[in-house]
Amino acid sequence: MKYGRTLIILMILALTPLSCLADEGGLEISIPFTGVYLQQGSTLSTSLYVKSNFSYPISVDLCSEAPRGWNVTFRSYGYDITSIYLTPRAEKSVELKIKPPDNEEPGDYTITIYAKYGNVLSNKINLTIHLQPKPQVPPFELRVPYMSLRGQPGSTLDYRFDIKNNLDKDIVVGFNIIEAPEGWGISFKPSTYENRIISSVTIRPKDTQYGLVLSVNVPKYIPPGDYKIKFSVSTEGYTKEVDLTAKVSGIKEYRLTTPNRMLSFEVQAGEVRNVTLSVINEGTDVIQDIELTTSPPPGWEVKVYPEKIDILKVGETKSVTLTVQTPSNTLAGDYSLRVSAWNIDAGRQTLDLRITVTKQTYWGMIGILVVVLSVAILILVFWRFGRP
């Protein structure tokens, strides 16, 4: 009987799962990684998984071992916690946060994490943190919203920029022009609404100076194109350079006139008169296809040659011949003749000429002939009857 009972007990033990024999080592923890890089002043946040192999509910303490000054906390549902409740053979995750001291030296540090239920300890995890130097913060940050602006010759381009002071003290920021086209007027101003010219500005701790302006005066007579401007902002040995672009578009502008600026002339009735006109490109861009037309008085025959100028380069002057023929029965007096030039890009130019029409003086010629004939008769009489 004694041996039979022993055999039965051994058979029961053989059929019973090992997990039901004892609950020793019934806690397990895990994290996604065991080594991580962290910058000075930063906080590490990750998940910690806790698993219970116990057959009954338990309250598990969360524990850590860290260097002096390091702050290790466990969080759940927005609260800092010290323990969690686990149902039989359940698993939960909590947030693990690790913050080194702000002045901690760079290097490798080990944080040990484990869980405990009474005298039962979970496995221990050694988390290695490679603490990296904090990036050097520049004294200021420079922001330029628009680094390329478009304008015409004679216009003003205002490049706005903001400066943020990153330090805990006042800083004096100086401005300097490094590169600019020759002959351009460039200055720094507090804002677009002020004409005061400045070379530096004082910014309070952690404050931002908004709306500073680099004002660029584009010369009036300059070819179209892209022009480069470079300026710098500096303080306490730190300098930030900025490259800007001024996109200058051409001005299509021309003038219709006469070579001697005279806008009046005389012509006899029935006479043909040629008048020279000038078309001058006074802009900064090439002008193509300028058409010329006239508006003469009724009955007059007026022609312009050429009727179209194909191309007029910058600063170029081209001559146009205006041929005017008045009817022979035109009354003497002043008449107006309008000449127009038209271009789709540069618009219309007009020139109003005053033409004075005179009559031919036939009676004057007859009078001269009578005088000449009378003198000839007197000479003949004296020659014939004046001899002894």
- Determine the average pLDDT of the residues in 90-119: 94
Instruction: Annotate 280-331 with DSSP letters as a single string.
Output: EE-SSS-EEEEEEEEEPPTT-EEEEESSEEEEE-TT-EEEEEEEEE--TTPP
Which helix (H) or strand (E) is 379 found in, with range? Answer: helix 362-385
Phi first, then psi: give them for residue 316, nearest 5 degrees. -85, 150
Retrieve residue 300's tokens: 């007059």
In this predicted structure, the answer to whether residue 212 has a pLDDT above a threshold of 80 is: yes
Tokens representing residue 74 in the block: 């466990």
Predicted confidence at residue 101, as pLDDT, reads 94
> Strands 238-248 and 208-217, how do they pair?
unpaired
* Architecture label for domain 140-248: Sandwich (2.60)
254-358 classified as CATH 2.60.40.10: yes
User: What confidence tens digit (pLDDT) does each residue in 150-208 have?
Assistant: 999 999 999 999 999 999 999 999 999 999 999 999 999 999 999 999 999 999 999 99
pLDDT in tens, 224-252: 999 999 999 999 889 999 999 999 988 88
pTM beyond cutoff 0.85? no
Same fold, 19-132 and 254-358: yes
17: pLDDT confidence band, cut at 50, 70 and 90?
A: very low
Q: What is the architecture of the domain spanning 19-132?
A: Sandwich (2.60)
Domain definitions of the chain by residue range: 19-132, 140-248, 254-358
Q: How confident is residue 270, by pLDDT bands cut at 50, 70 and 90? A: confident
